[in-house]
A and B are shown apart, each in its own frame.
Chain A
Amino acid sequence: MVTLNFTFTPEAASKVHDILVCLAKFSDSVSIEARRDRLTFTALNSSKSAYASFALEGNKFFSQYECLPGNGGAEGRFTCSMYSKALLSVFKGRLDDARGKDTAIDHCDVSVQDRPDQTECRFVIKMVCKQGVTKTYKLTYESVEVMHALFDKNMANNKWSIQSALLKEYIEYFSPKTEQLDIYAEDSRVIFTSYTEKIMSGKEILKHPLHTAVAVNTSDFREFSAQEKMHIIISVKDFKAIVIHADTLKTNLKAYYSYPTRPLQFSYASDGMYCEFTLMTAGDHSEVPTPSATVMPTRASTRVQSAVSERSGSRNERLEMPPPTVPASRASTRRVRNPSLAKRAPSSRPADPDPESLFIPADEEDNRWDPVNYRNDEETLGWDASADDGIGIHPTFRDSGSLTRSESQDSAEALPPTQRISQIQGLW
């Protein structure tokens, strides 16, 4: 039995939306861990090569926070997992939009109904709107053990920090179809290269996505202290998800890593929110002396074909879930805060979940010259089959372990309409 009640301001609810959008890019299900002093949202991708965590401080992020775990004393916790799209449909974008004054929410109450004497266990979210409207969402959840990826910052002798806005600018140059991101430093320059390693021949070669290298000076970084001539390779999709979220907070993003094939961590913090991403890396460090005593087999970075399939074996071993306790070192780093960022105005700009739109948007003037896409023009049909609405009404569980991301996306698109068109024919 657990007591968990908390209240958000509209600004915080909007931030929760941004968090969920980001987590949804890693996994279908989001895990929630509540402790006495903080609430943590986490996600682990299906290949266990990327882990994302957002810790929200109880007395800072929330306007009211109360968590009394049933057992375990001070270290006790309540954990559960939920379908991320179900939560996303509750925390829609623009919750704090000033333009929608009449429909804007006043605050958001969340409680967990987990009493043995009640028939239903539900995660209850109440959106208390202006004009006396209250929307109540009762979501089912799965009770799971939440695990965290371990990352030893002491081992990470390479670190840098940079404004998220700059990284956002860089990722806009990348082709949306690329898979890998190579981070490489040389001669006071850092080169971010987005590319896809695929062997293609003949005409197929022309379908190869753009290979993009963005070279920037290390002086554009807030801080840069990392080994040169070392290729660190991560998934460009993960990187984009992180940068886009970090940019909603207009904060500085920090990177910590040791050497290729060891985990890399991105972290940033803002206003009682601590975001950490632990990613597995590939790459080549044969040119540099190994910074630790461990001898790692040299991987030929240029021959990484399918990042996930080839590396998944070793990744699983390394990122295999450690014991679900937060080490003392990790807990203490969370307290480090940048006071200058504390009073930043919340961003009202919703993160765009469409990965296609990451590229520089075409200027509107030019857009009108594009041929009209008649196929998507369903204006005469008048119903929206977007996954959000459908899932909002049928919240459901997904076992992320057995479903790949793409599979579940398909299933979401295949959701039937909630109402037959024939039933509402009278409207026309």
Chain B
Amino acid sequence: MRFKASIQNISTFTKFTASLNSLGPLAWVKLSKDQVCFTIIPEQGTQVWAVLSIDTIFDSYTIQSAAQNVINLEVPLTSLHRALKSALQASSASIRLTKKDNVPLLALTIVTTSTSISNSGTTSSSTTTTATTTAPHGGALSTSGADNNHNHDDGFGFDGGTSSSSFECAFGRERETVVTQEVPVRVLSPETVAGLHEPRCREPDVHILLPPLLQLKGISDRFTKLALVGAKSGTGAGGLGGTAVAAAAAASSSSSMPRTRLEMAANMHGCLRLSIRTDAMSISSVWTGLSNPELDPAQVTGGEEGIRDHPSTKMKELGSADGRSEEGWATVRIDGRDWGKVMSVGRLGGRVIACFCHEHALILYVYLPNDNGLDESVLTYYVSSYSA
């Protein structure tokens, strides 16, 4: 079993892990020849199934395993994200699967080159530093580790040799720091992951391109906060003494947390409505003029005929573009806090299409921006709807 790659787009990878980490601490990572899948299935809340094309995050990617060259890992996202964050200023970073004391781990080797901020008088001609591998390799992984080492050494020698000479005259000295971050992982057997399936859902009633997520997140966060405040003043009305305050705070952090149900609805005329209803208030925000992408006959079962019978085609006949009509809305009820975690994906700056299955589920497709327009990377969020 071997996996190694250089990380091509550190910032995207970092933001990607940050977005996923807000939904759950562990990810199932499936590495295969032509794509990388990250899946988060939390005990409660939204699931994410993300498929990235290799070149979205990796470069010079090597994978090999006895199980059709597929490697399944369980990865702690907090550690991975932290490790990636230390690579944000890096001149190069690579990742590989290795083993240490019989514990499999993802080792990130990060090389950061910076001009010395030194005021020290001592100068030295040698500025190259070579990679460390602290791991005594064992088992099936040992060969991959050794290979990697060799490659790294070559890479660093080249880097240091060329750039340090030019920098040395211009800015004094150049420093090179090599950081090795080791993220413990679990290797999952094909049998373990065989039972994991992407949720299946009926054809959506409405599909719509969401407005800029920062805007949407701002409003939904505000609504959620209002729902919490409303709930708090309701329960804490008995007395506002110190103990009552503490009790309210404790209550809000326990399972009896006040409900923060947001109602989201959209129609096939470019309208999106976000609303919240509590005993004390009812607020809603409506976006108009959004776009409802056309369905591609090649993607719909039944082709042209399938589109004619598609639920969204029927929804087109109802409602209006000003959002005032009560007809034609597909509605879902979602948890405000969970939605806030989903909105965390906005940092990736992708295009988001929301598919509404009325009273059933909300599915978000987040398409990552890419250059070649071919192998698209897409994150799919499955948000289920609460019953009224």
Contact = CB atoms under 8 A, between A and B. Distances in A.
A222 B132 CA distance: 22
B30 interface: no
A325 interface: no
A203 B186 CA distance: 8
B186 A374 contact: no
Interface in B113-130: 116-120, 122-124, 126-130
Nearest to A220: B175
Given A219-B122, A222-B122, A380-B232, A370 B344 contact: yes
B120 A366 contact: no
B343 A371 contact: yes
Interface string B155-167: 0000000000000
B185 interface: yes
A205 interface: yes
A126 interface: no
A170 interface: yes
B105 to A, nearest CB: 8
B185 A206 contact: yes
Given A173-B179, A188-B126, A217-B128, A366 B225 contact: no
Interface in A276-320: none
B139 to A, nearest CB: 16
Contact of A213 (B88, B134, B245): B134
Interface stretch (B74-82, B284-292, B296-304): B74-82
Contacts of A214: 177-180
Interface stretch (B18-26, B197-205, B367-375): B18-26
B240 interface: yes
Given A205-B184, A211-B134, A369-B347, A216 B225 contact: no
A196 to B, nearest CB: 11
Contacts of A374: 224-225, 228, 252, 260, 337
A373 to B, nearest CB: 9
A170 B127 CA distance: 17
B240 A421 contact: yes
B175 A217 contact: yes
Contacts of A169: 177
A215 interface: yes
A102 B26 CA distance: 51
Given A175-B79, A374-B337, A216 B129 contact: yes
Nearest to A173: B86
B239 interface: yes
A417 B221 contact: no
A165 interface: yes
A359 B105 CA distance: 21
B333 interface: no
B124 A359 contact: no
B214 interface: yes
B118 A163 contact: yes
Contacts of A211: 105, 134, 180-182
A376 to B, nearest CB: 9
A374 B85 CA distance: 25
Interface string B268-298: 0000000000000000000000000000000
B85 A362 contact: yes
A195 to B, nearest CB: 9
B83 interface: yes
A189 B130 contact: yes
Given A369-B18, A375-B252, A216 B177 contact: yes
Interface in B4-31: 15, 18-19, 22, 26
Contacts of B253: 375
Given A206-B185, A220-B118, A380-B229, A371 B340 contact: yes
B120 A222 contact: yes
Nearest to B336: A374
A215 B344 CA distance: 34
Interface in B169-189: 173, 175-186
B82 A210 contact: yes
B195 interface: no
A209 B232 CA distance: 37
Given A210-B181, A219-B127, A369 B344 contact: yes
A193 B181 CA distance: 10
Interface residues of B, number: 71
Nearest to B177: A216
B341 interface: yes
Contact of B177 (A165, A170, A375): A170
B321 interface: no
A422 interface: yes
A216 B116 CA distance: 12
Contacts of A173: 86, 179, 181
Contacts of B240: 421-422, 425
Contact of B129 (A163, A165, A215, A223): A215
Contacts of B221: 372
B129 A217 contact: yes
B128 A360 contact: no
Interface string A219-232: 11011000000000
Contacts of A343: none
A421 B245 contact: yes
Interface in A219-277: 219-220, 222-223, 252
Nearest to B123: A219
A99 interface: no
B217 interface: yes
Interface string B78-119: 010011011010000000000000010100000000001111
A208 B74 CA distance: 13
A210 B185 CA distance: 11
B346 interface: yes
The interface centre, meaning the residue of A214, A216, A222 with most chain B CB atoms within 10 A of its CB, is: A214
Nearest to B107: A211
A187 B128 CA distance: 11
A360 B221 CA distance: 26
Contacts of B132: 189, 191, 213, 215
A237 B26 CA distance: 27
Contacts of B347: 366, 369
A212 interface: yes
A288 to B, nearest CB: 19
22 contacts: A163-B117, A175-B82, A206-B26, A206-B76, A206-B79, A206-B184, A209-B79, A214-B177, A215-B179, A216-B129, A217-B175, A220-B175, A360-B86, A362-B85, A370-B22, A370-B344, A374-B260, A375-B249, A378-B249, A380-B233, A381-B245, A422-B241
Given A212-B86, A216-B177, A422-B242, 7 more contacts: A210-B82, A212-B179, A214-B179, A215-B131, A216-B178, A219-B124, A252-B120
Interface of A: 163, 165-166, 169-170, 172-173, 175, 187-189, 191, 193, 203, 205-217, 219-220, 222-223, 252, 359-360, 362, 366, 368-372, 374-375, 377-378, 380-381, 416-417, 420-422, 425
> Closest 8 CB pairs between A and B?
A219-B124, A369-B347, A371-B340, A211-B182, A213-B180, A215-B178, A371-B341, A206-B76
